[in-house]
């Protein structure tokens, strides 16, 4: 547990809260038991709830795992009190950690971000977390551009896995961001005691930022679905061409197989006694193959 103070209020920052941290918070701030329970158990959906002496928020921020190449949600529990802002998270939310360290070490930054109320700092934190989504979205867009280039470079098979990974990444991002809208809207629409009325236009701006993130996700979703359809179409076309070549080859070989089977029968065939029998049979087979090929051409099967 770490604390940074200003003249107006303090920010209690807790990374990976344990039982001692939760007990200390409960004793110091007399928080509602339901709030204390939220610190100990994961909250699957974002929520906002007001209690006697605090406002509790649970939000999720998308983070990227480089090893599994996928996006996953990180929960952040936030408690707004009269003179204190408490944040707690289990996973390493580096954006929030960097922001806290900046305020802790830089008094000028504290004067900017911690000069009014805990609710105003909450706005800056949520704005920072939302803005941190755009570099991740830019990375996804670059990945989609790479996939598009590879598809039209003839690497359709290699892109099947890449498309699947990109689709999973976008899906997890969407699942993380979609429920957040209701939380931001509640901060504007409901009259929470600990959120000053003059801050509502700022929280309204958060809704706009969230919509921009969502619109970008929608665009990426449509793009990856179109790329997948294109990739499947090209793969199908290549497979059809391969099957066509094999079918033509089989069709040309069929009459030759029939001819060779007839000639291999144990009967008297005058040609067999000729010293040029082999080359005569080869010529006849070549003529049959050529005739079959010409027939395919006339039927426009080639």
pLDDT band of 302, cuts 50, 70, 90: low
Residues 110 and 107: their CA atoms lie apart, in Å, by: 5
Least confidently predicted of 74-88, 114-128, 134-148, 273-287: 273-287
Three-state secondary structure call for residue 163 = helix
pLDDT of 270 above 80: no
Average pLDDT, integer, range 204-211:
89
The conformational region for residue 55 under phi > 0 = left, psi -120 to 50 = alpha, else beta, is beta
Say how many residues make up the chain: 302
Residues forming beta bridges with residue 79, ordered by sequence position: 56, 86
Q: What is the CA radius of gyration of the chain?
A: 34
In the prediction, which pLDDT does 144 show?
Answer: 92
State residue 21's pLDDT score.
80
Least confident of 72-81, 106-115, 265-274, 290-299: 265-274
pLDDT for 67:
76
Tokens of 57: 């928020």
The pLDDT of residue 223 is 93
The predicted pLDDT at position 272 comes to 66
pTM of the complete model: 0.76
Residue that the structure tokens 């303090």 belong to? 10
Q: What is the distance in angstroms between the CA of the first residue and the CA of the last residue of the chain? A: 75
173, 143, 164: which is closest to 231 by C-alpha?
A: 164
Percentage, residues of the chain above pLDDT 70: 96
Which has the minimum average pLDDT: 171-175, 209-213, 242-246?
242-246
Average pLDDT score over residue span 184-210 = 87
- Compute the mean pLDDT over every residue in the chain, rounded to the nearest whole number: 85
**Residue 244: its pLDDT value, please?**
77
- Share above pLDDT 90 across residues of the chain, in percent, rounded to a whole number: 11
pLDDT confidence tier of residue 117, bands split at 50, 70 and 90: confident
Arithmetic mean of pLDDT, 185-196:
86
């Amino acid at each position: 547990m770490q604390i940074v103070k200003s003249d107006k209020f303090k920010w209690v920052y807790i990374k990976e809260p344990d039982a001692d941290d939760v007990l200390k918070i409960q004793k110091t701030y007399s928080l509602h038991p339901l709030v204390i329970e939220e610190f100990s158990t994961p909250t699957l959906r974002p929520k906002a709830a007001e209690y006697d002496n605090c406002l509790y928020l649970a939000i999720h921020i998308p983070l990227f795992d480089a090893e599994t190449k996928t996006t996953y949600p990180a929960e952040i529990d936030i408690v707004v009190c009269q003179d204190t802002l408490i944040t707690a998270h289990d996973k390493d939310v580096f954006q929030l950690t960097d922001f806290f360290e900046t305020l802790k070490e830089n008094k000028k930054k504290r004067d900017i971000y911690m000069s009014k109320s805990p609710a105003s700092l909450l706005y800056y934190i949520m704005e920072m977390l939302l803005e941190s989504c755009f570099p991740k979205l830019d990375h996804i867009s670059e990945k989609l551009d790479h996939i598009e280039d590879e598809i039209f470079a003839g690497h359709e098979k290699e892109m099947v896995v890449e498309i699947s990974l990109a689709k999973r990444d976008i899906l997890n991002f969407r699942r993380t961001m979609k429920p957040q809208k209701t939380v931001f809207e509640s901060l504007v629409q409901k009259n929470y005691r600990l959120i000053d009325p003059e801050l509502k236009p700022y929280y309204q701006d958060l809704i706009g930022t969230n919509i921009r993130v969502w619109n970008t996700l929608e665009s990426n979703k449509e793009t990856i679905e179109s790329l997948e359809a294109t990739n499947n179409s090209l793969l199908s076309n290549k497979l059809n061409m391969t099957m066509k070549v094999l079918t033509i080859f089989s069709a040309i070989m069929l009459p030759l197989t029939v001819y060779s089977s007839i000639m291999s029968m144990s009967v008297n065939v005058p040609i067999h006694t000729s010293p040029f029998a082999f080359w005569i049979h080869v010529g006849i087979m070549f003529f049959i193959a050529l005739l079959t090929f010409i027939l395919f051409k006339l039927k426009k099967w080639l």
